[in-house]
Amino acid sequence: MDYVHRQLQFDLRIWIGRMDDQRRRELYRPAKLTISDVAFLVLEPPDRGYPRLESGPIRIDAGEGQPSQSSSVLPSCPSGTSAVWMYLEALNGFLLFAAGSAALEWTGPEERRM
């Protein structure tokens, strides 16, 4: 998180596979996700009792709004921004923010994982 420029940046490996094609099921592609005009950022602490709490890659899921499973209280979203959540599986917690825009840039070719 760059607080001066109000920007979040993620280096990701995005699943681009196809469930109906065994040869392409486990395809991923590296990308950089840049979130701009960040109004707030809330990072929930990890669940210490969660069995997967270890260092390494973190699988995420994302959506808009406030997830019902999160107990965090969020500030109001300023005009021109939307609330977004990311579930961090290894931590069993959420990263929540409000932002105005996002840009995705592919940073490498497709990769196959087994």
Angle at 4 between CA 55 and CA 71, to 5 degrees: 50
Q: What is the pLDDT of residue 52?
A: 65
| CA dihedral for 74, 72, 6, 14, sign (positive or negative) | negative
* Spatial distance between the Cα atoms of 110 and 91, rounded to a whole number of angstroms: 27
pLDDT tens digits for the chain (114 residues)? Answer: 999 999 999 999 999 988 888 888 889 999 999 999 999 999 998 877 776 666 777 889 999 999 999 989 899 999 999 999 999 888 888 999 999 999 999 999 999 886
Chain CA centroid to CA 60, Å: 6
pTM value? 0.84
Q: What is the pLDDT of residue 81?
A: 96
Q: What is the pLDDT of residue 50?
A: 72
